[in-house]
Amino acid sequence: MKANASKLQSDSVVVSDSIWTRRGRPAIGYGLRGLAPFRLILETGTKDVHSGTTGGAARNPIGELCQVIAECYDARTGHVKIPGFYKDVLKPSRTEMENFLASGFTTQEFRRAHELKKIRSTSAKDAVTSIWTNPTFEVHGMVGGYTGPGVKTAIAPKAEAKVSMRLVPNQDPAKIFQLVKTFIKKRNPDVQIFPESFLKPYLGPQSGPYADAAQEAMMSAFGKKPAWVREGGSIGAVVTMQQYLTAPIVFLGLSLPEHGYHAPNENFDWEQASGGIQMFARYFELLSKMR
């Protein structure tokens, strides 16, 4: 895109890769969290060893990685313990919070749609704040040791943890990663830390001619004024387009929580598709009339 930016110039960009909070309640997103994934690897031996003959003297890389992760964040609350992690977080305005709560989000519907048995809070305000405006520290997988049936009393020589952080506006992925790396190295110098590709967070316009057109188009198609919300996920192409095209970017997404975003049985339904056809026809009609 950098090499072809001059050929790709546009007055605006529209992206249909966002999600409503619930069926029957249209929503337009204008913010995305960034992403900073990384891997933690600790190697303390060359083969499995017996816990009866070496346990107590041999180091346990699985246990040590668990300890490091527990020192990074509180898994029960999600609070990150790394100094400076929250320093640059952009707090939502009062108007934004009012819009979030007017979006129709409920924790009951959220749990049902995502098939979650338990969540950290039953408060809608706490939930939308956690998903849309707060950064996270998440553990996605632990690799190492025996994982078959029953228990095999061997101490593994190596363990790996797959971790990511969702970041919010004003947080810089490279800066946050350096804070994490320094924090972990002080606690366990033997842990190797391998960063993956980073994405910056995004915050777009909620007003202006394109935003107004998006709002009118969605309202004409679905019969209700859309709520303005942020997204908890990341879209790499949006950050790249913002950097190289410098054009307003509008989100006109149609997915619902029960569609299973990125899940094994991801789907889409005709109610959303047929409404979307009308919405896009109206949106581009409005754009054609702009001066």
User: Could you tell me the residue ranges of all domains in the chain?
Assistant: 5-33+202-288, 34-89+134-195
Q: What is the DSSP letter of 73?
A: B
Query: In 3-state terms, what secondary structure has residue 142?
Result: strand
Tens of pLDDT, residues 139-194: 999 999 999 999 999 999 999 999 999 999 999 999 999 999 999 999 999 999 99
The third-level CATH classification (topology) of the domain covering 5-33+202-288 is Aminopeptidase (3.40.630)
Transcribe 8-31 into DSSP letters: S--S-EEE---B-SBTTB-EEEEE
Q: Does domain 34-89+134-195 have CATH number 3.30.70.360?
A: yes
Residue 30: pLDDT over 90 = yes
Measured distance CA(235)–CA(248) in Å, rounded? 15
Residue 135: pLDDT over 90 = yes
Of 163, 105, 174, nearest to 133 by C-alpha is: 105
User: For the chain, where are the E strands, in sequence order?
Assistant: 13-15, 27-32, 34-43, 49-50, 138-143, 154-155, 158-167, 192-195, 202-203, 227-230, 249-251
pLDDT band at 262 (very low <50, low <70, confident <90, very high): confident
Measured distance CA(264)–CA(209) in Å, rounded? 38
Measured distance CA(282)–CA(277) in Å, rounded? 9
* Nearby residues of 78 by Cβ (< 8 Å), 6 or more positions away: 120, 130, 136, 137
Long-range CB pairs of 212-215 (<8 Å, 24+ gap) are 213/250, 213/283, 213/286, 213/287, 213/290, 214/14, 214/28, 214/250, 214/251, 214/252, 214/283, 215/28
Transcribe 45-68 into DSSP letters: -SS-EEHHHHBTTB--HHHHHHHH
Tens of pLDDT, residues 205-246: 889 999 999 999 999 999 999 999 999 999 989 999 999 998
